[in-house]
Structure 1
Amino acid sequence: MKKYITKGSLATAMLVMVTFACQDKFLDVPATGQLSGAQLTSKAGLDGLLIGAYAQLNARGFSQSASSFNWVRGSVSGGDANKGSNSGDFNALTPFQTYQVLATSGEANAKWNAMYEGIARCNSTLRSLASASSDVTAADKARISGEARFLRAHYYFELKRGFNMVPYVDETKDYGTGIEAVPNSADIWPNIEADFKYAVDNLPAAQGAVGRANKWGATAYLAKVYLYEKKYTEAKALFDQVIASGVTSDGKKYALVTNFQDNFNAAKDNSSESVFAIQAAANTGSSDNANPDLVLNFPYNTGSNGPAGCCGFFAPSFELANSFRVDANGLPMLDGSYNSAANQLKTDQGIASSAPFTPDTGPVDPRLDWSLGRRGIPYLDWQVHPGLDWIRDQTFAGPYSPIKFVFYKAQDKSLTDGSSWTDGYSAINYNIIRYADVLLMAAECEVEVGSLATALSYVNMIRSRAKGTAYVKTSAGANAANYQIGLYTAFADKASARAAVQFERKLELSGEGHRFYDLVRWGTASTVLNAFIAYEGKLLTVGYTGAKFTAGKDEYLPIPQQQIDSQGKSVLAQNPGY
């Protein structure tokens, strides 16, 4: 049986001393029941602290928008999805789709705090490791420090691409008001690189527990950092290594799984495609071990014939759905004509579930119906999607439902946790990096500094898997839609190759929290997102009131005003435009 990282009472106990908070020295009174230093520096104690650092990946206790999943900032701000539900429900998220986030946003502050909480836990692990007990071997020290620095690099990566200029605090600093003020005046990319490099050099190729970071996960993540910095040559060299030799945390060779949809199925977690994932488990005695990021992101009002019953958030956008339209050769419409009146998908917007409706009959990429739920198409093993009856407010959310990361009816109560208010706490992992992502990032590098033929082969690997995947079927066994997908025969030049790779990322990774960050690093966010607003805003006028992406400002969130007020304007400088 595989051993998994779980977030239970051990991690909670170990974290009594780790809380990241501002405090005055005269308040440093030992807590009742506090663990001793000897307990924390034993091998079991250090692993407990490390598990606590892993536990912060999903930011439980802060907000769904604070998680490393990034479904709000990465996908809603990126145009993959609308906020969903209705205009009044959790309306603190609406500014993320209209690019009107203020410095006083509690959601921006939650992201900041959640990531620094993760950093604090990593730093506490490293500080305790310096006084490790005799039962901690040299190999243990290398592994524990490698994992802690991998996780710290991840949390800082999240802060860097989210806020840009942020304070860097390592295990040598005691950070907080009245203790040690750290400014946000230095670029932290070198610090992130250093931590991932350390992890590459010190982590084993495979681990004893599924979900722990390994050498190859660190190599892929360091390559991703280089890609963000536009260090294409350095990134390519590392991606080449991962593709040639990389293995999952428990030693499986990286490979695309046969069926695209298995990446979002709890029964198929930790597959050969999983490079680094947030682990989730159900029915462990606490819903804390399940996936908390998605509890709002199910079709609305489903009753016993659909999953969870709540809450209609994270509704895939019209624009995303149209993107799966293909031409006569089964290829994407890279010129944007998928949004034209002739090509946009037929929807049931404004049509009652009791009224007749025939789904779109035009050719579409088969990943469409594994990426979003739409009327008239079977919704996993639950039932045929009924349309309006499963949408809380079509005028605000649109006609589509999320389907990635939704559990199957056959898994209800076994791979979902019924101990909380909803079955939406599931055992579905979220892959922070999966192998398809690696191939497409490698393809980008090949376009910029390598071979267009190699980039073509990587893109076609993704498309070949999509072509060979099990298609959504009707109850009679026929394809549920007109599924067509072709392979590219050649890229004429860098520009066409770049367009194809970027669009393939949009299709393959939709709803996985990547899109906004991709657009920003490509330098196309202003053009693409304002075009998106113009299109989506005509269909959902309420949800996009006042929406506008402002170049030079909206690439990053504001430094939370609460943090500036706490640290002082002389310490934390605000981002431009806020």
Structure 2
Amino acid sequence: MMMNNKLKYMKFIKQINRLFIPVLASLWLGSCTDNYLEQPALGALSEDVIANKDGVDKLLIGAYAALDGASVGGGAWESSPDNWIYGTVAGGEASKGSFGGDQPAIDQIVKFISNPSNGFYNNKWRAAYEGISRTNNTLKLLALATDISEEDGKNLAAQARFLRGHYYFELKKMFNMVPWIDETTEDPKQPNNVDIWPNIEADFQFAFDNLPATQDDFGRANKWAAAAYLGKSYLYQKKFMEAKTIFTEVINSGVNPGGVKYALIDRFSDNFDAAVENNSETVFDIQMVANDGTSSIANSNQGGMLNFPYNSPFRCCGFYQPSQDLVNSYKTDPVTGLPDLTSYNQNAVKSDMGITSDDPFTPYTGTLDPRLDWTVGRRGVPYHDWGKHPGAAWVREQTYGGPYAPKKNIYWQATQDIYSDQSSWAPGTALNVRVIRFADVLLMAAEAEAHAGSLDVALGYVNKVRQRAANPDGFLKEYIDDNDPMAGFKETSTAANYTISDYTMADFGSKEMALDRIYFERKLELAMEGHRFFDLVRWGIAEQTLNAYFDYQGAITTDVRGGKFIPGKSEYYPIPQAQIDLSVGADGQPTLTQNPGY
């Protein structure tokens, strides 16, 4: 989608946020009082004024606007939609970063020693239920409108139910047992004693059956995004045959909201460049925009505002530092071009840990997967077009968070005036949040195929992802002149020793062998995108993987020392104590039950 269309769409969201979100607010489950739940919002427009196509669509856009998670107060990072805390840092791909005294509640979360009173959990919960409230309000108003055709009504309802499915999916993978509240619910104090997977499936199935293949606005969900999300829901429930069937349909027939057939884009790095997003790899993105005229970064990835190198051109704040464990995962065998799935932490990739930026340093010369240097900023390697990463000068406290910097979230110097937003004390960006991209679909499909016994099909999907990574046109290049990064790239010089190859059928000789490689490929392809912790849990390998991570990484950095994953408890985060307190009924007893172990 062209930038001006994206800007127009996001300005529209901002306008609708101001005007229409107070309407029908009675189902909000936040830090509200019972009195607020029972009374209409002051100054809100009445149902009879907006019970029409225009009013319903405006409420629906408000439901989209809640995707950024920034509408419930607190630090926007607490409810960031990319789950950088709950999915990536808690999954061992990154340290919290900065230093120990900055946002210490995150340390408790990632070491699995936090309690239900940690306010981060409450804000994540509130953000999801805010989105659910907005979808429910849209559906309630839609039922009252009389000027909407059957076709338009199905489209609007299906979009609302897609969004509701997304919000509940977030809650399900975070907290497991959560209360289901829909447009028919009268009392929001519902118990969390029923598994909501069937309801999530029903929402995505309805969306798949009723959404069009294309939408006028790229940011709106289409039928194929719903199909992919339905497949993901099946996968989380281990319904592998159902997942296999629908992923096959998505891969063979799916198109993005603009009507472009799903395909991997040529360059891996283009997935993380705002100038070329909304492309053939886009299944569902949360749309972001910079410099939207609001003098804020509310629509500019506010949830990631902490996650830039410290004391750098980005100003703030030194969080979200990739782990040594993640960096080591990108080593490849110089002959086969394949990763070492079990012993990758032996002979670690060389870092500048303990070395000042004034001291000489030569980067690692061994063979590497080229995706490393589009995922991790490391000393002596070009940091997009900002020159080579200087190391310690851009790190707040190496001994605490390590020597590395995030990279998938970083805007380019050449286009910073368009795609960065400097309206706050930390930057915003126009980089979309990628909820599902096509590489993710291929790897989820590979997983389903492996469980179904179709190992050759699984191999083909994984190798498609690896072949894109192996495209030399997409390798990070050295700059002609470090003092003038705008001068361009040396076409004949790559930034590191990149070697990556396909797997063979022998590597996929059994279901177990195939799954091991698929799991590792997800780590390499989707690192720093919020998936890792939730993947480890659903695969049943979180205990062994994360406790090994704590042992290894804890010997390098102080931040994760004392961390321990406890099976039967740590798979899910605690139900926020604030929500249990709010759920107390007339009998003095809460309707919400705490998760085991808390």
- The answer to whether the superposition gives a TM-score over 0.5 is yes
Report the Cα distance in structure 1 between the residues aligned to 2:137 and 2:205, rounded to whole angstroms. 20
Matched to 2:596, the amino acid is P
Equivalent of 2:218, from 185, 210, 217?
210
Matches within 5 A, 1:163-312: 163-176=175-188, 181-286=189-294, 287-302=297-312, 306=313, 308-312=314-318
Question: Aligned match of 2:577 in 561, 567, 576?
Answer: 561
- Give the conservation status (yes or no) of the 8 Å contact 1:57–1:67: no
Check 1:199–1:82 CA distance in 2 against 1; reply closer, same or farther (3 A cut): same
Separation in 2 of the partners of 1:377 and 1:161? 36
Q: 1:50 aligns with which of 60, 67, 85?
A: 60
In structure 2, how many angstroms separate the alpha carbons of the residues matched to 1:27 and 1:172? 15
Matched, 1:379 2:383: yes
8 Å Cα contact 1:40/1:49 also seen in 2: no
Q: Which residue of 1 aligns with 2:550?
A: 533
Counterpart residue number, 1:514: 531
Q: 2:139 aligned with 1:106, yes or no? A: no
Deviation at 1:330, TM superposition (A): 4.4
Q: d(CA) in 2 for partners of 1:562 and 1:317?
A: 33
Equivalent residues of 2:332, 2:369 under 8 A apart: yes
Please tell me whether the aligned partners of residues 223 and 238 of structure 1 are also in contact (alpha carbons under 8 angstroms): yes
One-letter amino acid matched to 1:500:
R
Q: Which range is displaced more, 148-157 or 405-414?
A: 405-414
How far is the alpha carbon of 1:18 from its aligned partner? 4.3
Distance 2:80 2:202 in 1: 24
Three-state SS of the structure 2 residue aligned to 1:314 is strand
Contact 1:12–1:52, Cα closer than 8 Å, also in 2: no
CA change 1:330–1:392 in 2 (3 A) is: farther
Note closer, same or farther for the CA distance 1:282–1:351 as it changes in structure 2 (3 Å cut): same
CA distance in 2, matches of 1:138, 1:519: 43
Separation in structure 2 between the aligned mates of residue 509 and residue 27 of structure 1, nearest angstrom: 40
Superposed displacement of residue 414, structure 1: 1.3
For residues 132-531 of structure 1, the aligned pairs below 5 Å read 132-134=145-147, 136-176=148-188, 181-286=189-294, 287-302=297-312, 306=313, 308-340=314-346, 342=347, 344-422=348-426, 424-468=427-471, 469-476=473-480, 477=490, 478-490=493-505, 491-531=508-548
Partners of 1:26 and 1:10 in 2: how far apart? 22
**Distance across 2 between alignment mates of 1:522 and 1:374:** 30
The answer to whether the 8 Å contact 1:149/1:196 transfers is yes
The one-letter amino acid of 1:67's match is S
Question: What's the offset of the Cα at 1:32?
Answer: 5.1
Other-structure match for 1:573: 593
Residue type at the aligned position of 2:182: D
Code of the residue aligned with 1:10 in structure 2: it is I
Cα distance change on mapping 1:113 and 1:31 into 2, 3 Å: closer
Name the SS for the 2:421 alignment partner.
coil
Query: Deviation digits for residues 320-342 of structure 1, max 9, x if unmatched?
Result: 000000013344434422101x3
Deviation at 1:137, TM superposition (A): 1.6
> For residues 31 and 561 of structure 1, do their structure 2 counterparts lie closer, same or farther at Cα, with a shift above 3 Å needed?
closer
Task: Using the TM superposition, give the Cα deviation of residue 461 of structure 1 relative to its aligned residue in structure 2, in angstroms.
Answer: 0.3
**Alpha-carbon distance in structure 2 between the residues aligned to 1:18 and 1:554:** 36
Q: Secondary structure at 1:206's aligned position in 2?
A: coil
Quote the residue 1:65 is aligned against.
78
Partner of 2:485: none
Instruction: Determine helix, strand or coil for the equivalent of 2:285.
Output: strand
Taking the aligned partners of 1:318 and 1:245, their CA distance within structure 2 comes to: 39
Once the 2 structures are TM-superposed, how far is the Cα of residue 430 of structure 1 from its aligned partner?
1.1
Deviation string 1:326-366 (CA, Å, 9 cap, x unpaired) is 013344434422101x3x10000010000000000000001
One-letter amino acid matched to 2:559: G
Alpha-carbon shift at residue 472 of structure 1 (Å)? 1.2
Cα drift, residue 61 of structure 1: 3.5
SS at match of 2:399: helix
Separation in structure 2 between the aligned mates of residue 290 and residue 48 of structure 1, nearest angstrom: 21
Cα pair distance change 1:547/1:30, threshold 3 Å: closer
Identity, % of aligned positions: 49
Shift of 1:204: 0.3
- The amino acid that maps onto 1:484 is T
Q: Which runs of 4+ in 1 moved over 3 A?
A: 1-5, 21-33, 329-335
Verify the 8 A CA contact 1:76 1:96 in the aligned structure 2: no
Aligned CA-pair RMSD: 1.6
Do 2:331 and 2:340's aligned partners in 1 also have CA atoms closer than 8 Å?
A: no
Instruction: Write the distance in 1 (CA, Å) between the matches of 2:40 and 2:67.
Output: 28
Distance (Å, rounded) in 2 between the aligned partners of 1:148 and 1:574: 29
How far the C-alpha of 1:48 sits from its partner, in A, is 1.1
Shift in alpha-carbon separation, 1:359–1:252, aligned structure 2, 3 A: same
What is the alpha-carbon distance in structure 1 between the residues aligned to residue 342 and residue 252 of structure 2? 35
Alpha carbons 1:334, 1:500 under 8 Å: kept? no
> TM-score w.r.t. structure 1 length?
0.95
Q: Give the TM-score normalised by structure 2.
A: 0.92
Deviations 1:461-486 (A, max 9, x none): 00000000421111242111111101
Separation (CA, whole Å) in 2 of partners of 1:185 and 1:126: 25
Question: Relative to structure 1, is the Cα distance of residues 530 and 39 closer, same or farther in structure 2, using a 3 angstrom cutoff?
Answer: same
**Helix, strand or coil at the partner of 1:539:** coil
Equivalent residues in 2 for 1:82-121, closer than 5 Å: 82-121=95-134
State the SS of the aligned residue for 2:435.
strand
Give the aligned partner of residue 487 of structure 2. none
Deviations 1:13-34 (A, max 9, x none): 1102244254446986655542
More moved, 254-263 vs 25-34: 25-34
Kept after mapping to 2: 8 A contact 1:274/1:434: yes
CA–CA distance in 2 between the matches of 1:398 and 1:456? 35
Contact 1:38 1:133 survives alignment (8 Å): no
SS of aligned partner of 1:433: strand
Q: Distance in 2 between matches of 1:91 and 1:574?
A: 23
Provide the rounded CA distance (Å) in 2 between the counterparts of 1:209 and 1:360. Answer: 45
Deviations 1:280-315 (A, max 9, x none): 11121123222212111011101xxx3x21101110
Flag the 1:24–1:496 CA change in 2: closer, same or farther, 3 A: closer
Letter matched to residue 204 of structure 2: F
Change (3 A) 1:456 1:30: closer
Query: Does 1:546 find its partner at 2:546?
Result: no
| 3-state SS in 2 of match to 1:275 | strand
Q: Closer, same or farther in 2 for the Cα pair 1:24/1:76, shift >3 Å?
A: closer
Q: Deviations over 1:508-528 (max 9, x none)?
A: 000000000000000000000
C-alpha distance in 1 between matches for 2:339 and 2:19: 54
Are 1:324 and 1:332, in contact at CA under 8 Å, matched by a contact in 2?
A: no
Distance in 2 of aligned mates of 1:149 and 1:432: 16
